[in-house]
């Protein structure tokens, strides 16, 4: 699973070499849990994104890691959802939608065309279905079953498409 739940209302999608991806996401999950244990509070999605970005940047200077990330979360106190795009160089940007990897060449135009402010959950799933259809048309993809993780202020749940 390339999408790791790092706390009750945050997920971290990762792409890159398996060893880098697995070790870095486990490191992130453990340290986010440690921060919660020490303070008794969950950090905001923005704070998590900033901390992860600084760890990516520090890791770039210590050992080269090829890990690109998407951090999505909902802050419990405000109910605000946010998505952060990060690459292996430590770049960070708050986005409305995002993707990484080779398939991003196909999907960013689909997301740009169909994403709109204030979408319902069902409208969002329809856009995901359009992305899957686009990949099945333009890429070597024969996968029949897809799992989508939906983050709300109540937590993370899994939907099968």
Alpha helices for the chain (secondary structure H): 18-39, 45-62, 104-114, 121-138
Strand 92-95: give its sheet, edge to edge.
3-7, 10-16, 67-74, 81-86, 92-95
The mean pLDDT of the chain is 93
Q: Where are the domains of the chain?
A: 3-160
Provide the angle, in degrees to the nearest 10, between the axes of the packed helices 45-62 and 18-39.
130
How far apart, in whole angstroms, are the C-alpha atoms of residue 38 and residue 40? 6
pLDDT higher than 90, residue 108: yes
Average pLDDT for 10-26: 94
Q: What is the DSSP-derived secondary structure letter of residue 102? A: T
Round to whole Å and give the CA distance between 48 and 78. 16
List, for residues 122-152, the tens digit of each pLDDT value.
999 999 999 999 988 888 878 889 999 999 9
CATH class name, domain 3-160: alpha beta
* Residue 55 · residue 89 · CB < 8 Å: no
Mean pLDDT on 51-56: 94
Residue-level pLDDT at 62: 84
Instruction: Check if the beta carbon of residue 3 is closer than 8 Å to that of residue 156.
Output: no
E strand or H helix that includes residue 118: none
10-48: buried (b, 16+ CB within 10 Å) or exposed (e) per residue?
A: bbbbbbbeeebbeebbeebbeebeebeeeeeebbbbbeb
Give one DSSP letter per residue of 63-91, joined into a string.
Answer: S---EEEEEEEE-TTT--EEEEEE-TT--
Q: Average the pLDDT over 97-124 and give the result.
A: 93
pLDDT band at 63 (very low <50, low <70, confident <90, very high): confident
């Amino acid at each position: 699973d390339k999408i790791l739940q790092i706390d009750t209302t945050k997920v971290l999608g990762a792409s890159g070499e398996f060893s880098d991806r697995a070790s870095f996401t486990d490191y992130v999950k453990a340290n986010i849990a440690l921060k919660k244990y020490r303070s008794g509070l969950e950090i905001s999605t923005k704070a998590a994104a900033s901390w992860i970005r600084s760890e990516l940047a520090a890791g770039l200077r210590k050992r080269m890691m090829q890990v690109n990330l998407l951090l999505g979360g909902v802050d419990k106190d405000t109910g605000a959802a946010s998505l952060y795009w990060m690459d292996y160089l430590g770049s960070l940007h708050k986005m409305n939608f995002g993707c990484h990897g080779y398939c991003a060449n196909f999907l960013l135009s689909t997301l740009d065309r169909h994403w709109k402010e204030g979408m319902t959950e069902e409208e969002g799933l329809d856009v995901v279905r359009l992305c899957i259809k686009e990949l099945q048309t333009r890429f070597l993809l024969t996968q029949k079953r897809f799992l989508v993780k939906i983050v709300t202020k109540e937590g993370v749940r899994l939907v099968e498409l």
